[in-house]
Amino acid sequence: MATLTNLPQELRQRILLTAVQQEDRLVGSKWPKTIIALLHVCKTLRRDMPWVLDQWTPLRHLQRPSDLTTALSLSIDGVACGPFLTKPAETLYIDLFHDTLAANIRKATWNPLDDGVEMHQALVDAWRDAVPQLPMDKGLVVLDATPAPGWAREGHEYTLQWLMLRGAQAFLAYHIDGIVDLVRRIYQHYAGNVEVMLAGRYDTFHIQSLLRICFLLRDFGIKLPEGRQVKFSNSLRVRRKTILYAVHNLAPRKGTPEVEDWSQAMRLAPLRKVKWSEKAAWLFQDLSTVGGSLDKLTDDMRKLAEVMVDEHGTTVTITEWTQLHLSRRRLIRHMARDMGLRVKSEGEGENRYVVISKESV
């Protein structure tokens, strides 16, 4: 029976190249497992690999500035080989915040008095200092500014949760000037003979920062193409988890030791059928990140749910309406509408209050 090792060398190498080409990028200096495995199959395939690696055309993916000083060749039986020895990579992918620390994003703050203590300016500075070491003869440089550490991007949903953090928004906004300066230096390094593209995973929170980056780059005479590699996360499903968590606490599907009043939970069961709007899910998740707010928001939901399930026309009057934060007022209005309730404002000035009741049939 014919085997791979019995085939002519040229055909065998073509087959190996097809297998290796499935690895579309060389990340840092870490060689893909496919290549390492093929090198250990047998001596015949090992002798074929120098030609295969010379023909391999991966994208060069830099995760940290030190990747630029790492050798990208293998020595196989004394023969140096690698994808970039005889021809340069056409595309260079720079993962700007891959090595940032979790604390830099979780604790990022908008407070100007903190002077960016929790940011990671040193990492951006290291990338700027490494620009002169970037290999020449590149046609495209892709800059990934995803505001999340590399390890947090493994799972799709986990990435969305990171991008939704308030800290991620502040973190990216703080580094706008650094990113702009980095792109300008890259452009100068290649004497303008390169296309620079913004890439990465972002949430809708980050649109303002991205637009600001593009605006400042236009001032420098550098145009970032509309990033076909920029992906905005559809994080509504993740945002809904926060509001659904509150629903579960008020109207669980089955009794648990934490449920103090099971009869009350059963009364609020219709709450589980409410289809929450994007606005309500967005505001609920955003406000719940403030310390202690989740309990208050859940209590607001409970009061509205009491009106929704009551058959005797009960109303809720919120007399401290003017003292509530504007976002919380908006959330109450959106939740009430999603529950089919009517929100009516009465009074003026500091005496203004809101009456929530069922829609008249």
Residue 353: in which H helix or E strand, if any? strand 353-358
Residues 6+ apart with CB under 8 A from 154: none
Sheet holding 353-358, edge to edge: 316-318, 353-358, 341-346
- How far CA 184 is from CA of 88, 143, 188, 304, in Å, comes to 22, 12, 6, 53
Give me the tens of pLDDT residue by residue for the chain, a chain 361 residues long: 568 778 888 888 888 888 888 887 778 777 888 888 888 888 888 888 888 888 887 878 888 888 877 766 677 777 777 776 666 667 888 899 988 887 777 767 655 444 444 577 888 889 999 889 888 776 788 888 888 888 777 655 555 566 666 678 888 888 888 999 999 898 888 887 888 888 887 776 677 788 788 888 876 666 665 545 566 554 555 567 778 878 888 888 765 555 667 777 788 889 889 988 888 887 887 777 554 467 888 888 888 888 888 877 677 887 776 677 777 888 888 999 999 888 888 877 777 778 888 865 4
Residues 6+ apart with CB under 8 A from 174: 108, 116, 119
Q: Is the dihedral of CA 218, 220, 222, 227 positive or negative?
A: negative
- How far CA 313 is from CA of 89, 306, 308, 342, in Å, comes to 71, 10, 9, 12
CB 56 within 8 A of CB 49: no
Q: Where are the domains of the chain?
A: 4-83, 91-233, 236-358
CB 196 within 8 A of CB 186: yes
Query: Does pTM surpass 0.75?
Result: no
- How far CA 296 is from CA of 13, 301, 303, in Å, comes to 66, 9, 11
Report the candidate in 51, 2, 58 with the shortest Cα–Cα distance to residue 29.
Answer: 58
Three-state SS at 86: coil
Residues 6+ apart with CB under 8 A from 30: none
CB 82 within 8 A of CB 72: yes
